[in-house]
Structure 1
Amino acid sequence: MAESLEPEDIELGPVLSALADPHRRHVIHELVNDTDGSERPCTSFGLDLSKSTRSHHFKVLRQAGLVHQVDRGNRSGVTLRRADLDARFPGLLSLIGSEKES
């Protein structure tokens, strides 16, 4: 994916807007609590959504600067931009990680 914000260009408004959706917050919650930080397939988050809807949600997360996404043929992998987000918004990922999912 070509579009990737520089860490200093990640803005709070788009980040909060992306996190307002429960499906996207679920993805970030899982990535925050995934301690090894390895790349995960976009299909591994248990989202019971159509492929186009799932793609839309990952696009929003990517455009907000929350994740880095890599296309691997007919699959995509996603990683949390943990260091960038911790530097830009200290404590945000800890809050998301400690949130109880419904």
Structure 2
Amino acid sequence: MPAPADLTHPDREAIELPAVLFALSDPDRLEMVRQLRDGPMDAANCTALDPTIPKSTKSHLMKVLREAGVIRNEPNGRHRTLTLRRDDLDTRFPGLLDAVLDAD
């Protein structure tokens, strides 16, 4: 069992298209991914959501993205760093990420 700070992430080969599409179908999750396109960020600094939204909701949005294989959420000292799994997604589903992120 992983330590509490260690979250599981699917291997590249285990990332499934329906899970990725579901994760990207929510406007708030999609905005998080758009922010990560420019590079990693501290999870606490992710401004995709209204600041009045509970931390639990924000955590759930990140969990869906992580479990689908869209992002990594890894410990970094006392914080957590979010990164977009672009290489994995581009390998599994070429062109999908850019098509979704660039859509209006």
Unaligned runs of 5+ in 1: none
- State the aligned residue count: 96
Unaligned runs of 5+ in 2: 1-5
Correspondence for 2:3: none
Instruction: Answer yes or no: is the 8 Å Cα contact 1:4–1:65 preserved in 2.
Output: yes
TM-score (norm 2): 0.83
Cα offset for 1:31?
Answer: 1.5
Instruction: Answer yes or no: is the 8 Å Cα contact 2:7–2:73 preserved in 1.
Output: no
Task: Give, in whole Å, the separation in 1 of the partners of 2:84 and 2:97.
Answer: 10
Q: Which of 20, 25, 46 pairs up with 1:15?
A: 20
Correspondence for 1:65: 69
Q: Which moved more, 1:22-31 or 1:71-80?
A: 71-80
SS in 2 for 1:24: helix
SS in 2 for 1:43: helix
Correspondence for 1:43: 44
Instruction: Answer yes or no: is the 8 Å Cα contact 1:27–1:45 preserved in 2.
Output: yes
Task: Give, in whole Å, the separation in 2 of the partners of 1:2 and 1:56.
Answer: 13
Q: Which of 71, 90, 98 pairs up with 2:102?
A: 98
TM-score (norm 1): 0.84
